[in-house]
Amino acid sequence: MILKKTTIIKFAAAAIAAMGIFSFSSTTHAESVNSYIANNNISHANITSSIWGGFPKNAYRKGTGKPEGVVVHETANPNSTIYNEIAYMKKNYQAAFVHSFVDASRIINIANTNYLAWGAGYPANARFVQFEQVRVHSKSAFAHEIANAAYYTAYILDKYGLTPNDAAYDGKGTVWSHGGVSKFLGGTDHTDPTAYYASMGKTYFGASYTFAQFYQLVKTTYENLQGSHEKKAFDKVTYKSADDQALLGDKYKSYRLYNHVKNSRANVKTYSWSSVSASVGKKVYIDDIGKKSSGSTWYRITFSDSSNAQKYWVYSKALNFD
């Protein structure tokens, strides 16, 4: 078939127009997910505590007593909702469960993060807090979900006195994808959330979203959390040295161990009583007393009289001086 000149011109014009459309589309969607979140002032949801008592309470690996980082998952189910996923997990927790679920508008904590979950194989289960992202289906929803996921990751790091460190490079960090666990720790062969991130990035933002980009958002969110701590009003404490002994009281479990007097500064860490093999009547040695301006009294204690013994701060009502 011989095409007329006018037809050729129309085809050429159509081709040029199509190229212009694709070029424009690529340009408008080229904004990264992280930039979109920042430019649109997308914040995070509040964490909803919905702890279910049916989950087992197993300690993290010996010597730590607390999580060492966070594993990020996604459900790989395009048709489920956050409540469907939670209901399913409660019914099938003996096979697997995680601590929390995240979607575009919610962060729901269902299992106590002071105890391990099993969602990424034996080595990781004994070390990390784990959460699932439920698949969403729009540009705005994905951006909001990523903001929520980054906040929850940063929140857990801050809560347990950990600093952001991407585990993707050497397997020694605090922020892990499930794929990173498979690569460095084993016990599993999943690679999420890599494919989900890439697909959503291409579909709605014109380029794959990567876990490295997600980590950068976690880091920024964590730094913002630290900044908010610096603005917080801390309790004033007056200290004086001491040389005394006491016993753990009957209600010591109602309180916690700290590395500094509670709310006296930023990033005060907590320790579990199980990590020090505590029991009612156990002797402690006191070398410092902290008196808050509010009137409460705190003691710095050790569990042996050795000069190298680790020191903890505890509220006075946890001790018995009789």
pLDDT at 278 over 70: yes
Segments making up each domain of the chain, as ranges: 29-230, 237-320
Handedness of CA 39, 47, 131, 124 (dihedral sign): positive
pLDDT at 206 over 80: yes
Spatial separation of the C-alpha atoms in residues 45 and 317, rounded to whole Å: 36
pLDDT at 5 over 80: no
> In this predicted model, what pLDDT tens digit does every residue of 83-98 receive, in sequence order?
999 999 999 999 999 9
Q: Regarding predicted confidence, which is higher, 287 or 3?
A: 287
pLDDT at 296 over 90: yes
Q: What pLDDT score does 30 carry?
A: 53
Going from the C-alpha of 125 to that of each of 108, 129, 156, 222, 307, the distances in angstroms are 19, 8, 15, 23, 35
- Omega of the bond prior to 193 within 30 degrees of 0, cis? yes
Q: What pLDDT score does 231 carry?
A: 67
Collect all residues with Cβ–Cβ distance below 8 Å to 305 and sequence separation of at least 6: 285
pLDDT-derived band of residue 4, with 50, 70 and 90 as boundaries? very low
Q: What pLDDT score does 23 carry?
A: 36
Q: What pLDDT score does 24 carry?
A: 34
Percent of the residues in the chain that have a pLDDT greater than 90, as a whole number: 81
> In this predicted model, what pLDDT tens digit does every residue of 181-200 receive, in sequence order?
999 999 999 999 999 999 99
**123-129 mean pLDDT:** 97
Domain 237-320, CATH among 3.40.1210.10, 2.30.30.170, 1.10.40.50, 2.60.40.10: 2.30.30.170
Across all residues in the chain, what is the average pLDDT?
Answer: 89
Domain 29-230, CATH among 1.10.240.10, 3.40.50.720, 3.40.80.10, 3.30.70.270: 3.40.80.10
> In this predicted model, what pLDDT tens digit does every residue of 127-152 receive, in sequence order?
999 999 999 999 999 999 999 999 99
> In this predicted model, what pLDDT tens digit does every residue of 21-57 receive, in sequence order?
333 333 344 579 999 999 999 999 999 999 999 999 9
pLDDT at 159 over 60: yes
pLDDT at 9 over 80: no
**223-248 mean pLDDT:** 88
Spatial separation of the C-alpha atoms in residues 41 and 29, rounded to whole Å: 18
| 29-230 and 237-320: identical CATH topology | no
Would you list the DSSP string of 201-249? HHHHHSS---HHHHHHHHHHHHHHHHHHHHTSPPPPEEEEEEEEEEEE-
Q: What pLDDT score does 10 carry?
A: 42
Question: Model pTM greater than 0.95?
Answer: no
Spatial separation of the C-alpha atoms in residues 149 and 197, rounded to whole Å: 12
**95-104 mean pLDDT:** 98
Q: What pLDDT score does 103 carry?
A: 98
> In this predicted model, what pLDDT tens digit does every residue of 260-274 receive, in sequence order?
999 898 778 888 898
Q: What pLDDT score does 62 carry?
A: 81
